[in-house]
Amino acid sequence: MSIFCLNCRGLGDPRAVNNLRRVLRRYSPSLVFLSETKLPVVGMDNIRRKLGHYNGIAVDSRGRSGGVALLWEKSINVSLLSCSSNHIDVSVLDVGGQHAWRFTGVYGWAETQNKVKTCELLTAIHRNSDLPWIVGGDLNEIMFNFEKKGGSPKSQHILDLFRDTMEECGLYDLGFTGYEFTWENRRNADAVIEERLDRYCASTEWSALFPDAEVQHLDENLSDHLPILLRLVAPRGRRRQRRQQFRFENMWIQEDSCRQVIQGAWGVSHSEDPWAELGAKLDGCSVALGKWNRETFGQVQDRIRRLVGFLSAERDIIRRRSILREISAWRRREEVFWAQRAKAEFLLHGDSNTKWFHARAQQRRKNNTIVRLQKEDGSWAESDVELQQVVVHYFSQLFSSDRPEQVEEVISGIPTRVT
């Protein structure tokens, strides 16, 4: 299943419709959100039939500008929640009826003096439903000035307002693969301006439903905007089993038995070679801590769920207080766990609520995913095997030399510290 969003800058030209139809056939999206159709509802209904077997909702354009439309495959159950000249908000029940969620296609105001209206719109429709939420489209604003190339920097006040609104609505940018900007002004040379105006933002509940969702900026020449495609499940070729890595959890420090486990593992002698001994001790500690974590410390969320179950059945106030204190202690450990995952050094967003940390950790995992690497000949490596070969070759070249010259002259310039 996938979602396709595009500011099409008008569909009055038959060539624009034909080009869009070819692209939709290529990617077969389940939902299609189009902004700036520049068409009345009747005209957009005719275009819908030309684009394929879609159901749809459209909002009239304002003269020769504006107009939004949402199309969806007939196998999907879509219900309208609200709409306006700048948005279409629907609930979605996917094929099989397993998951209900919410999609809002947004066309943000382009005029600087009206940017605040986009924020007001998001804040208003945020309250309309508790379903897991995904927002996509041409929001007509960037979140940071590095998302713009050329021209004058954007007003920091507007950027701060935009980011604050997203956070207030519980929405987090899903990132992307592909070219970094989605709009350009089609000017020449020094007058070129590029910005990332189009994006998908999701709630943590939506990301939990679709943890492998992947956004791609498509290199399709349909308007001055690039289409953005959200695949709800990553292609099979990109999904792979990840080897479990050992990580020392900062929350373990709060347990007195952690020190005992480390001392016990470190005290075992393995080799007379000091380097081999160090490696063996580190391996021994990781094994011992992993076993201790599973058998004694336990999984944080499982412990919390078990304690909450005990609390719901407990009627004695003294024992309830004890269980509540234990739950609070485990909640603090959970905050430490997600703070470490998110590499956050503050707890301003903590207050026993790990949603913020969880979202940051998910975003960090997406940012750390290497989708492709450019080879020396300019081509791209995308498969797992090719990516590994490129990395190994790069670092092999980086830490080796080819017929070095004047080594003695270089060494002579280094001050002597050990005699």
Could you please report the per-residue DSSP string of 364-393? Answer: HHHHH----EE-TTS-EE-SHHHHHHHHHH
Q: How far apart are CA 340 and CA 133, in angstroms?
A: 26
Interhelix angle for 274-292 vs 256-266, to 10°?
Answer: 150
Q: How far apart are CA 266 and CA 289, in angstroms?
A: 11
> DSSP character for 322?
H
Q: How far apart are CA 39 and CA 44, in angstroms?
A: 6
Question: Per-residue confidence of the chain (419 residues) as pLDDT tens digits?
Answer: 899 999 999 998 888 998 898 889 888 999 999 999 999 999 999 999 889 889 999 999 887 788 999 999 988 899 999 999 999 999 998 766 678 899 999 999 989 899 999 999 999 999 888 899 999 999 999 999 999 988 889 889 999 999 999 999 999 999 998 888 999 988 887 888 999 999 999 998 898 888 889 999 988 888 999 999 999 874 444 445 555 677 777 767 767 778 888 888 888 877 777 777 888 888 888 888 888 777 655 566 677 778 888 877 777 777 777 887 887 777 777 766 666 556 544 444 444 455 656 666 666 666 667 777 888 887 888 888 888 888 888 887 776 766 667 767 777 777 777 65
Write phi, then psi, for 143 (nearest 5 degrees). Answer: -100, -25
Q: How far apart are CA 265 and CA 290, in angstroms?
A: 12
First-to-last alpha carbon distance for the chain, in angstroms, is 68
Q: How far apart are CA 168 and CA 162, in angstroms?
A: 10
134 within 8 A of 101, measured Cβ to Cβ: yes
Output the furthest CA–CA distance in the chain (Å, rounded). Answer: 89
Give the Å distances, CA to CA, from 77 to 47, 99, 101: 21, 11, 11
pTM of the model: 0.62
pLDDT of residue 349: 46
* Three-state secondary structure readout of 262-310: HHHHHCCCCCCCHHHHHHHHHHHHHHHHHHHHHHHHCCHHHHHHHHHHH
pLDDT of residue 195: 94
* Domains present along the chain, CATH in parentheses: 2-237 (3.60.10.10), 250-368 (no CATH), 373-412 (no CATH)
pLDDT of residue 238: 47
Q: How far apart are CA 324 and CA 314, in angstroms?
A: 11
